[in-house]
Structure 1
């Protein structure tokens, strides 16, 4: 799976326009009428513009206009401002990555492509998170000879449609459910076969659509909470991994709609219980070798992999402002719920924020990775991966070592044991996470001043939007946004 490695330019990258003409003809022959141009804003909301298939060459040459104001949109579509963003002035150009163009099996008549954003003058837009991630990956290759493989787990709650009559007619069984309420599509046991049976047609159509779109699915299964499922996809380069996360969620939502179901990827669909995670799996490679296995450090880590992992661990408090960016995220980040809410690491320890996954004997060279758990799907995946890699690179530059590992539940540690292992609670609110982010020069530098200020402004805006709300109201406010 590949992504375009160069920035868009006015007039198109070499060969793009001719290629787009050929693609447009092929798409038209397949009865594809429009192309979705997709990106993710600072609040983690997926935004799009669409063009007729015949206009794909024009989009490849000159882009499609879009206001930069969306970089300071909140999840409720209110707008905040920074010193350079949030005004009605200006315009950007959205350029599709033709390498990632995909015919949408779940949306007949449509294709999809992620975009990079540049200014009217042809410069990279400083708040384009896809560009920021590409830059970070390029810097790692140049400075350290590193490449990366990444994958983002996707958890979601599948519910019955309780939309008001103007948006759809609810079945008789939902007559008493207030509009917007989450009513699980199945309440069978966690990981239970009954769930797979009850939602068999939905899951089969989902797998068929993913296969048609060449999405590499490893597994899909019922999860813990009522109506919850998870899909795991194969690892790819970080930009492609973020692209896949967006495309997979669009596919899940489209298939659910065909079955009269409603999907929520929100961190907390209800105020209590287990929420939806978006755990990130990440491995660093050099000269074709996975650095997370075959080394002489604990559990087979190489020295560089240990320092990289230690960097991620050290920056976790600030990282949560990017990886857990919603007020609803902190309804999910609770101890003893496998959400990873302490600065702890361990081998296959699912309560640790950073879990070492060695892989199966015989496949460790391909499979070994680290899993970062305090991540949810309100996060912009490009920004999240940018900051995770930057944190790891900082650990590499500082030659950090991992502290003593943790086994079991970190919540059970005594204060003395926690101090010895450098284990502390991650931020318990978005306000705390934002304060940590503001003080973290590494993460702010990785994003750049324009994007870092947008992150801070949007987080402040989200906090103001929920001021005075209780947990149930916060969950309801974000339930159907993601």
Structure 2
């Protein structure tokens, strides 16, 4: 579609948006610190934005979680300009923000080429490459968040998973579900989570790029509904030092040639040979993936044993302390229900890089004949020390080193994005070095 066609399509969309009372469109991307950044345009300028994009500095590739800037990167300096190109197929009217619509963007150079640092484009490219190998993916994020009062105290005093919390928050939750429904976001389930003030929402699975888009939209909607009710919200990995933190677990399934790879086979719990190879490849590369899924200094306060964070490099059927959990579903529904859950993902992660990494690793592992090690069928922390599986990286610098040494993910990222991403994460680790857990939490609590 050329510029003229994009402009004409955007004009029709803008007319419909105006008729529905929309006056502004938020154009968002997620940076290397996991922060959703935005530029907004009036509806009347949507046609121009669709044709020519919206200018934005590449410096945001070097932004840290506190908005300081990492130095010494190939990308992310003050010189140059990019173009934010809205994806009109993903545009949504924001039900909880009257007068607003939203669309994710691709970032292009001024010459119209895909910018090497565009995380959404990296995810799209990974998906296209997997499709050339005959693979199809379905993915979905679970979103956990802390709901607090204006001064930060948890909202809801009931027990974990307690119905009393739902009763206390019934009006808030009804507004949230109504907003998501109006935005065509399918909700699979909701429940109050383990920690005080913690809630969790699971949405329907879709293709990987759309799953990442949906994660951004869901979090934005939660934030808007919470604000309308006078609440403060955090998706940070840890909100209170020493307590269970917020995850953003990824569920994924793979098909090849129309056949589900995680059910109907002769491998462990019905895995096909190709499905087992995919999961074995993912499991083997979890140390490198941790730099993508758990990319904040506070992430390593969350990745602790027996805190529902699964800090162990192991797998198991329905084992919630294993980083890779195999979900088979009830007997008879494996064809549609079987999937794998990556639990070493939290709310500081860039969802586009998460889905890109899993897609690329799965594609690289498919058909390789890899086999899984014996599954862990108990809480790994209860095993004798010599029999416990390996821990995932226990610090951000350790995870970044594993990422750089991996055989798949650096190629996926490309030199420019890898350099900027690792520079941001290394600078964040240096900035918070020496702080006690409480200080780390205070520095990151309200940034995500």
Bucket of the pairwise TM-score, normalised by the shorter protein: over 0.9
Q: Distance in 2 between matches of 1:137 and 1:268?
A: 31
Cα pair 1:311 1:393 within 8 Å, conserved: no
Note the alpha carbon deviations across 1:167-202, whole angstroms, 9 max, x for none.
xxxxxxxxxxxxxxx310112100001100111111
**Residue matched to 2:342:** 372
Contact in 2 for aligned 1:186/1:226 (Cα 8 Å): yes
1:71 to 57, 61, 68: 61
CA RMSD, Structure 1 to Structure 2 (Å): 1.2
> Which one of 93, 97, 115 corresponds to residue 103 of structure 1?
93
Could you give the per-residue CA deviations for residues 411-459 of structure 1, whole angstroms, max 9, x where no partner exists? 22234434xxxx2011111121112112113111111111111111011
Shift of 1:289: 2.5
* Distance in 1 (alpha carbons) for counterparts of 2:76 and 2:90: 29
Q: Does 1:16 align with 2:6?
A: yes
Structure 1 counterpart of 2:266: 296
Task: Note if 1:446 corresponds to 2:412.
Answer: yes
- The CA distance in 2 between the partners of 1:364 and 1:17, in whole Å, is 45
Separation in structure 1 between the aligned mates of residue 116 and residue 69 of structure 2, nearest angstrom: 18
Work out which of the residue numbers 125, 144, 158 in structure 1 matches 2:147: 158
* Match runs of 1:338-357 below 5 Å: 338-357=308-327
Aligned to 1:246: 216
Distance 2:224 2:284 in 1: 39
**Contact in 2 for aligned 1:267/1:376 (Cα 8 Å):** yes
Measure, in 2, the Cα distance between the counterparts of 1:248 and 1:28.
23
> Does structure 1 retain, via aligned residues, the 8 Å contact 2:122–2:356?
yes
Contact 2:73 2:423 in 1 (8 A): no
Alignment of 1:240-389 (within 5 A): 240-389=210-359
Q: Higher mean Cα deviation, 388-397 or 243-252?
A: 388-397
SS in 1 for 2:76: coil
Whether the 8 Å CA contact 1:20–1:98 is kept in 2: the answer is yes
Aligned counterparts, 1:128-147, within 5 A: 128-142=118-132, 144-147=133-136
* Structure 2 counterpart of 1:412: 382
Matched position secondary structure for 1:343: strand
Unaligned 5+ segments in structure 2 are: none
- 1:397 deviates by 5.3
SS at match of 1:77: coil
Segments of structure 1 that go 5 or more residues without pairing to the other structure are 1-8, 163-181
Match of 1:459 among 425, 444, 448: 425
- 1:102-128 alpha-carbon deviations (Å, 9 max, x no partner): 000000000000000110011100010
Moved more, 288-297 or 390-399: 390-399
Equivalent residue for 1:5? none
Which residue of structure 2 lines up, in the alignment, with residue 119 of structure 1?
Answer: 109
Contact kept, 8 Å, 2:328 with 2:337, in 1: the verdict is yes
Once the two structures are superposed, what CA deviation does each residue of 1:112-169 show, in whole Å capped at 9, x if it has no partner? 0000011001110001010001101111111x2001000000000000002xxxxxxx
Task: Report the Cα offset of residue 378 of structure 1.
Answer: 0.3
Q: For residue 171 of structure 1, what is the aligned residue in structure 2?
A: none
Q: Is the 8 A contact 1:310 1:392 kept in 2?
A: no
- Residues 74 and 420 in structure 2, CA contact (< 8 A), matched pair in contact too: no
Q: Which residue of 1 aligns with 2:394?
A: 428
Between the aligned partners of 2:309 and 2:146, the Cα distance in structure 1 is: 16
Q: 4+ residue stretches of structure 1 with deviation over 4 A?
A: none
- Aligned equivalent of 1:174: none
Q: Alpha-carbon deviation of 1:320? A: 0.7
Distance 2:55 2:336 in 1: 41
SS at match of 2:194: coil
CA contact (8 A) 2:240 2:441 kept: yes
Which whole-Å CA distance do the structure 2 matches of 1:249 and 1:269 have between them? 16
CA contact (8 A) 2:292 2:350 kept: yes
Q: What is the DSSP-based 3-state SS (H/G/I as helix, E as strand, rest coil) of the residue aligned with 1:305?
A: helix
Match of 1:470 in 2: 436
CA-to-aligned-CA distance 1:359-387 (integer Å, 9 cap, x gap)? 22343211110000010010000111111
| Bigger mean CA offset, 431-440 vs 309-318 | 431-440
Aligned length: 448
